[in-house]
Amino acid sequence: MNLLRGFYNLGIPHLKPLKSVQKTTAVQDLFGHPIEKRVDKFERTLAKIDKETFTIRVERLKYLVEITGNFGMVGSIETVLILREAGWAYINGAFISTILLSQAFIERQLAEFMLKKGLESEAKHGAQEIIKYCRRHHLIDDFLLDKFDQLRKIRNPFVHVKPLDHPFTLGQRSFLERVPPNEVLENDAKDALSLMYTMLCSHLQ
């Protein structure tokens, strides 16, 4: 399934096919002079943000299409919506949301994979225990498990309070890597999306 069509089917408004624009007659006063439509401050703010971020959002969309190729999936509405919103968040620069949603999607994929194998009890555990079980029983390639474990560690400081010097807090990683925090986040978000679609296309059996 083409990514753009996939997003359209899942209801992302700004990716719907463009319709022909119909001309409308300008509103006029009693003397035939056009009445200027007042634009409120909220519309002005969003229009300014749209204009300032348009180019970078296009580049992010291109990246998303590049890493996904053609894909299709069948799953619960929750799983499908997580997939959609992870991409939407990345395009709009919400990198923390992208990381959290990607991790949630992968964890659901692994839990569903284990349920299909009759491992109901094991599937109820969190990501760390699922990773350990899959590694111990050689259910999934270690490379993918290592990547997911790294994502899990990056995600944790956003949902659990960690000491400032914890190796996976954003501040500590930014300091050690000598990279601005937002650049670290964007790279993490790209890696998370790439892993999410790799897991989606891996056809876990």
Query: Which region among 26-30, 52-56, 136-140, 159-163 has the lowest average model confidence (pLDDT)?
Result: 26-30
Query: Which region among 22-36, 108-122, 150-164, 170-184 has the lowest average model confidence (pLDDT)?
Result: 22-36
pLDDT at residue 201 is higher than 50:
yes
Q: Per residue in 92-137, pLDDT tens?
A: 999 999 999 999 999 999 998 999 999 999 888 889 999 999 999 9
Check residue 200 and give its pLDDT. 85
Mean per-residue pLDDT over the chain, rounded: 84
pLDDT at residue 197 is higher than 50:
yes
3-state SS of the chain is CCHHHHHHHCCCHHHCCCCCCCCCCCCECCCCCECCCCCCHHHHHHHHHHHHHHHHHHHHHHHHHHHHCCCCCCCCHHHHHHHHHHHHHHHCCCHHHHHHHHHHHHHHHHHHHHHHCCCHHHHCCCHHHHHHHHHHCCCCCHHHHHHHHHHHHHHHHHHCCCCCCCCCCHHHHHHHHCCCHHHHHHHHHHHHHHHHHHHHHCCCC
Check residue 19 and give its pLDDT. 52
Query: What is the C-alpha separation between 49 and 56, in angstroms, rounded?
Result: 12
